[in-house]
Amino acid sequence: MSLAGDVCVVTGACGFLGERLVRMLLEEERLSEIRLLDRNIRPDLTHALKDSLGETKLSVFEGDIRDSELLKRACRGASVVFHTASLIDVIGAIDPSELFGVNVKGTQLLLETCVQESVSSFIYTSSIEVAGPNVRGDPIIGGNEETQYVCCLKFPYSQSKKEAEQLCLRAHGEVLGNGARLATCVLRPMYIYGEGCRFTLGHMRDGIRNGDVLLRISRREAKVNPVYVGNAAFGHLQAARALKAPQRRAAVGGNFYYISDDTPPISYSDFNHAVLAPLGFGIQTRPVLPFPILYLMAFLMELLQAVLRPFLKFTPPMNRQLLVMLNTSFSFSYQKAHRDMGYTPRHDWEEARQRTTDWLASVLPRERERVSVK
């Protein structure tokens, strides 16, 4: 089902995934209008998009996701909302009240606005981290939406994404202002990589500082299945198309889906090496210290953070949940998304890896200069 003639809102439109989704919408759908909603709209992005607009109108809504008046203006007359906006924090650098304010309260306000303004479809970008791994590091290999797993989320970011996800699923079927009903869908992408990924960029910088040798932060056997950003964006597009198709709307609405692709299972550290090895980067054979010692160090740093919190902001570079996540096999299939919404990865591993490496090569000289200045 095509989205031709629709008015689409993309929150977080200038983010890593949001920008890729906007470009895909412009390339593949004859939209009436696409509305970019972001806290900071990049002029370079809006300028670059003008060549792809065709007959599609491009509108900009700059501001905070918690601004109810902004949301009303952005959603009025829209038919679908892609909610990709989120604060991402895996090391505890952001105050939890801010995380929950943006990720949970912002999502709640947006859902309420969609009901008031009769927006019929709502796609929420969740995270693999709402599934785990748990504190014991119990693995999941090739899991799916039916996989049972005991998980108690302790990290504020994971908690905020889980709460927002639940809000979205509970909102499915709410009566809209025009008498129709809202259809919601939640997508849980794996770790998203590709051109523009700030996490891969950060690992490259660390490698430059370490003499072009990447730090090993995960064990080889702790395999996950990252997803390429182009495939993650396509999963969102297919979700919107499915929610618009009467025969699929009932099956997809109110459900969550794992979005992965055919990137081979690999540890986080070995993934970084796979995309950076063609640029001359090596990788440590083993972690600097055994996992139990690293876990104890992370615990002690968390204690220090708690003691200093009233007097000084201290953000440890590692915490126990992040350490467990990086060292636990945790992979999921996209077969339910394939069955229900027709999602099949657009880009295979070789193409995705080459595109990522080419982007890293383009920014490498700048990053070397930046690291040398520091």
Among the options 157, 191, 257, 258, which is catalytic? 157
Q: Is 268 a catalytic residue?
A: no
Distance, in Å, from the CA atom of 260 to the CA atom of 190, rounded to the nearest integer, reads 6
Quick check: 18 and 38 in contact, CB under 8 A? yes
Radius of gyration of the chain from Cα atoms? 21
92 CB neighbour count, 10 Å cutoff: 20
Q: At what angle do helices 268-276 and 349-373 cross, to 10 degrees?
A: 80
Report how far Cα 86 is from the mean position of its chain's Cα atoms: 8
- Secondary structure (3-state) at 258: strand
Note the maximum CA span of the chain: 62
Label the pairing between strands 330-332 and 282-283: unpaired
Within 13 A of 227's CA, how many CA atoms are on the CB side?
Answer: 29
Which residue type occupies 135? V
- Secondary structure (3-state) at 77: coil
- Secondary structure (3-state) at 314: coil
Which stretch of DSSP H or E encloses residue 247? Answer: helix 246-252
Distance, in Å, from the CA atom of 330 to the CA atom of 318, rounded to the nearest integer, reads 19
Buried residues in 292-306 as b, exposed as e (16+ CB within 10 A):
eebbeebeebbeebe
Active-site residues: which are they? 157
